[in-house]
Amino acid sequence: MDATLIEPRWTERDARSLGRSRPSRVQAEEAVRTLIGWAGDDPEREGLLDTPARVVRAYEEWFAGYEEDPAQLLDRCFEEIAGYDEMVLLRDIRFESHCEHHMAPIIGRAHIGYLPNRRVVGISKLARLVQAWAKRLQIQERMTAEIADTLDRVLKPHGVGVVIEASHECMTTRGVHNCGVSMTTSRMLGAFRERPETRQEFLSAIRRAHSNAEPGL
């Protein structure tokens, strides 16, 4: 369903963090004008007249995850899997998020693996699960846990593994200005935590994908 047609579904964390009604579009655009003026430019300058509206539309896209319930994305499962019980792995799910400390972009890739317990979910739903959590103000560590915990809670598989690799522009474009640095986080649940061989199979599959990738990918 088109996200513009559904009512917002807030998680408990979202409700606690807001604690108040959502500002109007007019208020949001006025806030952008204030920031433009604070930065030292004239919000009434011709080139900036439409900028507040553009920024608000960009925010609607960047933070569309607040309009989705990540758990609901996994509601439709498939149980006719002919007894398949080996690992399901989806690699290199590209995402764009924003750091909650500086609102700077976080750009990276997520890898998700799980051991089915009598049911599986469509692979596009795994990608949408990543996007639903990414398109919010985030820190990478929490996002990694949220993706894994949601998959574990809804599918109830034998195990879940999530690895995220990302670069943070709050570090590359400000502060230490350290380019070319990436951060890796992981969350292992069930068999992925308890059985070293399962965890190793998951991590080895990710590494093989990287080593076989064409230059520049």
pLDDT, tens digit (0-9, with 9 covering 90-100), for 120-173: 999 999 999 999 999 999 999 999 999 999 999 999 999 999 999 999 988 877
Average pLDDT over residues 29-50: 97
Read off the tokens for 133. Answer: 């959590």
Residue span(s) of the chain under CATH 3.30.1130.10 come to 3-8+68-212
Fold of 3-8+68-212: GTP Cyclohydrolase I, domain 2 (3.30.1130)
Residue closest to 113 by CA, chosen among 155, 81, 69, 70: 155
Residue span(s) of the chain under CATH 1.10.286.10 come to 13-62
65-81 confidence digits (pLDDT tens):
999 999 999 988 887 67
For the beta carbon of residue 111, count every other beta carbon within 10 angstroms. Answer: 22
Average pLDDT over residues 166-191: 85
What b-and-e string marks burial along 56-73, b requiring 16 or more CB atoms within 10 Å of the CB?
Answer: beeebebebbbbbbbbeb
Output the pTM of the full model. Answer: 0.84
pLDDT value at position 70? 95
Strands 105-115 and 159-168: antiparallel
* Active-site residue list: 99-102, 140, 168, 170
The distance of Cα 204 from the centroid of its chain, to the nearest Å, equals 23
* Residue 86 φ then ψ, to 5°: -90, 175
Q: CATH number of the domain at 13-62, please?
A: 1.10.286.10
